[in-house]
Structure formats: structure tokens, C-alpha cells
């Protein structure tokens, strides 16, 4: 029989604590909510009532249930109020000495059978436990932000936590409607160990002006389907908390440079820019604690002003290539009303591309998204050619031929001879340096990367890659074109992986390393990222979809360019590729797809 938890205590009612109180009270458990001062207690109470009031307004909570929920909470200053609770969850700031002091005090105050839990994200639960006389009753219960919403709880068992305590806490999680993964005591557990290197890297991109905050966040939301971008997530977590987590992970997790907090984080913390809770972090919020972003001096002007930035008028577009990307891009431009010249290597290829574009447009008609007249008009806008000479009068060329530098360079040298002056020349390369392609022409200022995502007609994101020679006018033109296509164009520098792949693949690689180290299973790691961070797919699901060979190639490029030791491809990934386990396309990757 699992232990009954009729009353619990929560210590610290900040970003996490207030949410944790809500989780328990919503599920019929009495809560003693404890803060260090009357003012902090009021803040915590305001956070909780704000959250429950929003739930009532949205129709997710009945008024009577809200009142019953609030009636279950006993608001108190000081730990002495916790003498009769069955379980305490501590959620004070991420400092080992503070947590140890609190646990020593809880040990003195709480009844002998009470379980003492910490919500730490990165500190050693074991080190916290030894501050008490009952380390076997100390456990990590790591909730995710916002606690009432996120389904995952990481249950952290130390080498001394007793098995019945683990079982009781697992049963409690189920009662709270949460999904738990039980793991051992390692810095960052599953989710944060995979998340924080990525967040820190994104801050580094922002700090080095590689891309704007809006573009970094839009890239990860639209390119990977994440619920929020990394900088918005840093603001939600709180920059002070994020700093402490990174710092601890750096020290506990083998001094991986990727966890050494980017200096900007500390500067922002010192300046009081803590994120949502202080009203300003990477973004500015309506008021402290509000999720509503308001414009500030970094907010970009509306896209319409791109023309004012010198964007060139584009009416006729050449697309070179006949593969998946070229086909999708032809469709996107034709549908958006551009006159398109498709250049392939022969009439046979052109016929194939024509069929593919027609089939795709027909699907739109069947789904009621496109009228037959619009389909015919789009097809009528495409001119089919097998010679580059027909690109003499286009305003923009988008190259989507094979991913080989020599081929692309030769093509750009030809375009340089054929195209009229002032044409924007774009490459869709996903891994080659755009500057190499640009320097094959006499007009590198007009060359830019336009990295579409597959399938181009569906994916809303385009990365606009500017080299050190790309002119502002060319970038403005690329932005205006993306807007006219109904896509979000994000501008970034010419570095391996641009924004999305540079942030995504090291995380996937880290997940493989975690599996390789036997810290957890592929299923639990996938669960943790989906339920703890709201990702649409777990890392192993995604790797199997993308292809392990493709993922390995991208990871190798990143490693070669940045020489970051933490980017070295996971040996397990290399072995799976060598063994021919490439993911869904070969029937087997991290999972066996033949038996599903
Ligand atoms: N922020 C997140 O996204 C997140 C997610 C999961 C876990 N965590 C972990 O949760 C814990 C709390 O983080 P947070 O972001 O909520 O921090 P926070 O700074 O928002 O809140 C901490 C609260 O603890 C209170 N406090 C400080 N000393 C206290 C004391 N002696 N007694 C009682 N209360 C005291 C503070 O007044 C404050 O309200 C940390 O261990 C953190 O790593 C944070």
C-alpha cells in the first residue's frame, strides 16, 4: 500500500513553488505554503491567484473549484509551520548552501516519517540529503515550468533513497496526473542536461549578434515546432535560475564549455533583468510576472518597411534544380504570383518536376485550400527550360541543385555571366558556406542564402543567410520576398548549421550520448523532452525521421567548423550509421520500424 499524502508543504513560492502549490491543491491535497517573509508570501499568493483566475476566465476551472482549491492552502512565513505535513517540496533558489541549511532545518521541524523532497534542477540531491539525519527519505521531485501545465516529473533517486519512498512518490505523481521518469542523481537529470547547452548556445548567438532575439526564437519555433523559442524560454525560467543551473552543470557535469554560462547572462542578472518575473529579460513584459511581451527598442519595424530599406522589386524568379527542394520552391513562388523560370538538366526532368508540382497543387484543390482556377494560374506562371540562358531577365535566382560545392560554384559562375545586373542570386544550401558560392561570382554583394525547409510548400520558415559580403539591399530583398511568400524569414550569419541546425543537432547528439552512457532509455528520454519541454517529438523519434546518416553528417560539419569538443559526434551514432541503421528510411534506427 502506497503511503497517503494528505498534507504537503512547499517551501519557496517563486516561479516554480507557486505552481507546485497549485498542482497539489488542484488535486485535493492540503498544502502549507511557506515563504521567507510576508512580502514574498504575498507575491507567491498573487502568482497563484493570478494563475487560477486565468484558468477560471478561460473556462478551465469552475469558480467553486477555484475557491475550494484556495481553501486548501495555508499561507505561512517560516518553516515551523511544516511540523505535521507528510511531504515537503523545497523550491528555493538554486544554491547548495541555502538548500542544505533549509534541509537541516526541515529535518528538525518535520515529523520523523515525513519525506523531504527538492525541486532542484541541477544540484546534487545526494549532497542536499546529507544535511539531514534521514537521507534515505530525501528525494528529488523535479517539476517543469509551468508546473500546472507540464506533465513530466523527474523523480531523482540517490544511492541512499529507500525503495518505498521512491514507490510512494511515483504513486503520488500518478495521483497528480503527472508522468514520472525515475532516474539517478546526475547534473541536469534528463531534460535540463539536454536543454541547457542549447539555451546557452542560443544566448551566445544573440550575444554575438549572429541573429536577433526574434529571429532566433522564430527559427526554433517554426523550424522545429517548439512551443517557444530559447530566449523566450530563458525569460520564463528566470535568468538568475538559468545562470545557477548552467553554472552547476558546468562544475558537476565534467566542465563542458557549452555549459559555461555565456557572460551576457550574468550581466543581465546583475542588471536585474531576470526575465518575466522582473518584467524584463531578453524581452520586455507588460509588468513583472506578466507573460505579455510589449515592444521595446529592439523590436524590429514591421516587414512592410523592407522596401524602405532598399529592397529591390522582384517579379520574375528563376529556380535551378529538379529535386525535392527545387520542386517545392517552384510551387511556392508560382502560388504566390511570381513568374517562374524553372531550369533543369533536360526536358525529361522538367516533365517530372511539372508532374510533381501539379500533383501537389491538386492536393491543395482536393483539400479545398486552392481553387482550380488558382491552380491553373500557378501552373501557367511556370516556364520550363533546360538552359540557363533563359535566366537572362529574371530578378532573382534560387539555386537548389546537388549539395556539392564544385557544382554550385560552377553554376554561380555561369549565372554571373548570364544574369542582368542587380539580380539577387540565392543558394538553398543547408551546409556549405554561402561565401564560397558568392566568391565564384564577380558580384558577391548580390549573393545570399535562402534556406528553405522541407517540404517547402508547408514549412513556414526560411533562413536568410548573409555573408560578410552580402549587401543590406540584398538582405532586405530576401526579407521582402519571404514575406511575399507568406514565410517567416530569419536573418543569420554564414556559419555551419545557420540557426536551426546549429541549435538542434548538438542537442540530438547529446541525447545519443546520454543513451550511450546508459543514464536512461530512449523511451524515457523521448518522454522527458515531450512532456517536460513540450517538444513535438523526442530526440530519438526525430533522429529516426531525419535519418541518422543525415544527422551524423550535419553534426560532423558543426564539429569541424567550430572545433567544439562537445560537438564531437556520439560514437553510438557513428556505429548505427556504419551498421546501416539509418532510421525510418532503412526500417531501423534507434527503433525498429519494421515491426510497427
Ligand atoms: N524556473 C524554472 O523554470 C525551474 C524549473 C524546474 C525547477 N526549478 C528549480 O526550482 C527551484 C526554485 O527556482 P525558481 O525559479 O522558482 O526560483 P525563484 O527565484 O523564482 O523563487 C525562489 C523563491 O524562494 C524563496 N526563498 C528564498 N529563501 C527562502 C527560505 N529560506 N525559505 C523560504 N523561501 C525562500 C524566495 O523568496 C523566492 O520566492 C530551484 O531549485 C530551481 O532550480 C526551476
Q: Which is the closest atom of ligand 1 to the Cα of 37?
A: 37
Q: Is the dihedral of CA 349, 353, 354, 356 positive or negative?
A: positive
Q: What pLDDT shows up at residue 101?
A: 98
> Binning pLDDT at 50, 70 and 90, where does residue 592 land?
very high
Residue nearest to atom 41 of ligand 1 (CA): 120
Q: Find out whether the beta carbon of 76 lies less than 6 Å from any atom of ligand 1.
A: no
Q: Find out whether the beta carbon of 92 lies less than 6 Å from any atom of ligand 1.
A: yes
- In a 3-state reduction of DSSP, which class is residue 293? strand
Residue nearest to atom 1 of ligand 1 (CA): 237
Q: How far apart are CA 351 and CA 457, in angstroms?
A: 19
Q: What pLDDT shows up at residue 303?
A: 55
Q: What pLDDT shows up at residue 3?
A: 87
> Binning pLDDT at 50, 70 and 90, where does residue 88 land?
very high
pLDDT in tens, 350-363: 999 999 999 999 99
Catalytic residue among 154, 170, 463, 557: 154
Q: Find out whether the beta carbon of 11 lies less than 6 Å from any atom of ligand 1.
A: yes
Catalytic residue among 90, 119, 142, 431: 142
Burial of 159 (0-12, 13-18, 19+ CB in 10 A): exposed
Q: What pLDDT shows up at residue 532?
A: 94
> Binning pLDDT at 50, 70 and 90, where does residue 2 land?
confident
142 belongs to the catalytic site: yes
On the question of pLDDT at 437 being above 70, the answer is: yes
Q: What pLDDT shows up at residue 431?
A: 86
pLDDT in tens, 382-423: 999 999 999 999 999 999 999 999 999 999 999 999 999 999
Q: What pLDDT shows up at residue 271?
A: 98
Is residue 115 within 8 Å of 37, Cβ to Cβ? no
pLDDT in tens, 190-230: 999 999 999 999 999 999 999 999 999 999 999 999 999 99
Q: How far apart are CA 419 and CA 425, in angstroms?
A: 9
Q: What pLDDT shows up at residue 411?
A: 98
Q: How far apart are CA 69 and CA 80, in angstroms?
A: 23
Is residue 254 within 8 Å of 231, Cβ to Cβ? no
Q: What pLDDT shows up at residue 301?
A: 79
Q: Find out whether the beta carbon of 90 lies less than 6 Å from any atom of ligand 1.
A: no
Burial of 254 (0-12, 13-18, 19+ CB in 10 A): exposed
On the question of pLDDT at 307 being above 80, the answer is: no
Q: What pLDDT shows up at residue 254?
A: 81
Residue nearest to atom 27 of ligand 1 (CA): 92
Catalytic residue among 51, 119, 192, 430: 192
Cα 132 from chain centroid (whole Å) = 38
Catalytic residue among 51, 119, 121, 509: 121
Q: Rounded to the nearest whole angstrom, what is the distance from the C-alpha of residue 95 to the centroid of ligand 1?
A: 10
Q: Which is the closest atom of ligand 1 to the Cα of 90?
A: 11
Q: Rounded to the nearest whole angstrom, what is the distance from the C-alpha of residue 16 to the centroid of ligand 1?
A: 6
> Binning pLDDT at 50, 70 and 90, where does residue 306 land?
low
pLDDT in tens, 93-152: 999 999 999 999 999 999 999 999 999 999 999 999 999 999 999 999 999 999 999 999
Residue nearest to atom 15 of ligand 1 (CA): 15
173, three cell numbers:
505523481
> Binning pLDDT at 50, 70 and 90, where does residue 79 land?
very high
Please report, rounded to a whole number, the percentage of residues in the chain having pLDDT higher than 70: 99
Q: Find out whether the beta carbon of 237 lies less than 6 Å from any atom of ligand 1.
A: yes
Q: How far apart are CA 140 and CA 106, in angstroms?
A: 15
Q: Find out whether the beta carbon of 233 lies less than 6 Å from any atom of ligand 1.
A: no
Q: Rounded to the nearest whole angstrom, what is the distance from the C-alpha of residue 10 to the centroid of ligand 1?
A: 11
121 belongs to the catalytic site: yes
Q: How far is CA 101 from CA 20, 39, 96, in A?
A: 21, 21, 9
Q: How far apart are CA 509 and CA 320, in angstroms?
A: 33
Residue nearest to atom 2 of ligand 1 (CA): 237
Q: Rounded to the nearest whole angstrom, what is the distance from the C-alpha of residue 233 to the centroid of ligand 1?
A: 16
154 belongs to the catalytic site: yes
Q: Rounded to the nearest whole angstrom, what is the distance from the C-alpha of residue 253 to the centroid of ligand 1?
A: 22
Q: Which is the closest atom of ligand 1 to the Cα of 16?
A: 16
Residue nearest to atom 12 of ligand 1 (CA): 91
Enumerate helices (H) and strands (E) in the chain, giving the number of each.
23, 18
Q: Find out whether the beta carbon of 17 lies less than 6 Å from any atom of ligand 1.
A: yes
Q: Rounded to the nearest whole angstrom, what is the distance from the C-alpha of residue 474 to the centroid of ligand 1?
A: 47
192 belongs to the catalytic site: yes
Burial of 585 (0-12, 13-18, 19+ CB in 10 A): middle
Please report, rounded to a whole number, the percentage of residues in the chain having pLDDT higher than 90: 95
pLDDT in tens, 318-328: 999 999 999 99
Q: Find out whether the beta carbon of 88 lies less than 6 Å from any atom of ligand 1.
A: no
DSSP letters spanning 205-258? HHHTTSS-HHHHHHHHHHHH--SS-HHHHHHHH-HHHHHHHHHHHHHHTT--GG
Q: Find out whether the beta carbon of 246 lies less than 6 Å from any atom of ligand 1.
A: no
In this prediction the pTM is 0.93
* Mean residue pLDDT across the chain: 96
> Binning pLDDT at 50, 70 and 90, where does residue 308 land?
low
Q: Find out whether the beta carbon of 429 lies less than 6 Å from any atom of ligand 1.
A: no
Q: What pLDDT shows up at residue 305?
A: 57
Amino acid at each position: 500500500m502506497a503511503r497517503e499524502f494528505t498534507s504537503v508543504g512547499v517551501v519557496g513560492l517563486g516561479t516554480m513553488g507557486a505552481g507546485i502549490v497549485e498542482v497539489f491543491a488542484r488535486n485535493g491535497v492540503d498544502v502549507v505554503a511557506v515563504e521567507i517573509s510576508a512580502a514574498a508570501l504575498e507575491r507567491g499568493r498573487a502568482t497563484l491567484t493570478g494563475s487560477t483566475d486565468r484558468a477560471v476566465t478561460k473556462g478551465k476551472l469552475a469558480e467553486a473549484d477555484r475557491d475550494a482549491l484556495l481553501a486548501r492552502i495555508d499561507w505561512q512565513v517560516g518553516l515551523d509551520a511544516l511540523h505535521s505535513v507528510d511531504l515537503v517540496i523545497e523550491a528555493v533558489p538554486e544554491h547548495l548552501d541555502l538548500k542544505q541549511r533549509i534541509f537541516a532545518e526541515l529535518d528538525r521541524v518535520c515529523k520523523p516519517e515525513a519525506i523531504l523532497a527538492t525541486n532542484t534542477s541541477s544540484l546534487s540531491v545526494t549532497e542536499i540529503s546529507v544535511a539531514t539525519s534521514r537521507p534515505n527519505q530525501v528525494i528529488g521531485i523535479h517539476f517543469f515550468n509551468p508546473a500546472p501545465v507540464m506533465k513530466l516529473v523527474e523523480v531523482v533517486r540517490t544511492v541512499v533513497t529507500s525503495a518505498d519512498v521512491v514507490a510512494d512518490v511515483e504513486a503520488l505523481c500518478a495521483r497528480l496526473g503527472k508522468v514520472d521518469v525515475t532516474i539517478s542523481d546526475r547534473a541536469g537529470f534528463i531534460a535540463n542536461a539536454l536543454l541547457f547547452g542549447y539555451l546557452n548556445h542560443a544566448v551566445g548567438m544573440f550575444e554575438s549578434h549572429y541573429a536577433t532575439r526574434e529571429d532566433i526564437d522564430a527559427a526554433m519555433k517554426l523550424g522545429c515546432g517548439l512551443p517557444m523559442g530559447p530566449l523566450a524560454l530563458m525569460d520564463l525560467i528566470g535568468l538568475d535560475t538559468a545562470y545557477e543551473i548552467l553554472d552547476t552543470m558546468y562544475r558537476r557535469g565534467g566542465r563542458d564549455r557549452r555549459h559555461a554560462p555565456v557572460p551576457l547572462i550574468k550581466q543581465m542578472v546583475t542588471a536585474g533583468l531576470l526575465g518575466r518575473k522582473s518584467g524584463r529579460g531578453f524581452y520586455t513584459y507588460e509588468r513583472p510576472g506578466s507573460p505579455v511581451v510589449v515592444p521595446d527598442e529592439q523590436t524590429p519595424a514591421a516587414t512592410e518597411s523592407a522596401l524602405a530599406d532598399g529592397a529591390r522589386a522582384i517579379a520574375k524568379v528563376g529556380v535551378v534544380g529538379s529535386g525535392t527542394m527545387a520542386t517545392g520552391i517552384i510551387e511556392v513562388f508560382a502560388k504566390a504570383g511570381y513568374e517562374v523560370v524553372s531550369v533543369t538538366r533536360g526536358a525529361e526532368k522538367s516533365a517530372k518536376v511539372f508532374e510533381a508540382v501539379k500533383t501537389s497543387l491538386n492536393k491543395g484543390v482536393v483539400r479545398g485550400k486552392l481553387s482550380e482556377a488558382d491552380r491553373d494560374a500557378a501552373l501557367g506562371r511556370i516556364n520550363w527550360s533546360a538552359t540557363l540562358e533563359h535566366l537572362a531577365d529574371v530578378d532573382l535566382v534560387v539555386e537548389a541543385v546537388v549539395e556539392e560545392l564544385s557544382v554550385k560554384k560552377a553554376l554561380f559562375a555561369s549565372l554571373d555571366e548570364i544574369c542582368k545586373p542587380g539580380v539577387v542570386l540565392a543558394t538553398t544550401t543547408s551546409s556549405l558556406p554561402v561565401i564560397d558560392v558568392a566568391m565564384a561570382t564577380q558580384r558577391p554583394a548580390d549573393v545570399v542564402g535562402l534556406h528553405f525547409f522541407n517540404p517547402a510548400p508547408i514549412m513556414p520558415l526560411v533562413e536568410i543567410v548573409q555573408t560578410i559580403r552580402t549587401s543590406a539591399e540584398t538582405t532586405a530583398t530576401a526579407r521582402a520576398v519571404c514575406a511575399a511568400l507568406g514565410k517567416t524569414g530569419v536573418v543569420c550569419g554564414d556559419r555551419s548549421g545557420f540557426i536551426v541546425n546549429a541549435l538542434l543537432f548538438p542537442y540530438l547528439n547529446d541525447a545519443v550520448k546520454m543513451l550511450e552512457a546508459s543514464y536512461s532509455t530512449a523511451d524515457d528520454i523521448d518522454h522527458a523532452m515531450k512532456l517536460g519541454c513540450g517538444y513535438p517529438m523526442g530526440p530519438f523519434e526525430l533522429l529516426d525521421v531525419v535519418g541518422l546518416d543525415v544527422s551524423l553528417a550535419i553534426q560532423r560539419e558543426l564539429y569541424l567548423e567550430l572545433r567544439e569538443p562537445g560537438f564531437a559526434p556520439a560514437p553510438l551514432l557513428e556505429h548505427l550509421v556504419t551498421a546501416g541503421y539509418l532510421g525510418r528510411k532503412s526500417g531501423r534506427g534507434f527503433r525498429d520500424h519494421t515491426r510497427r
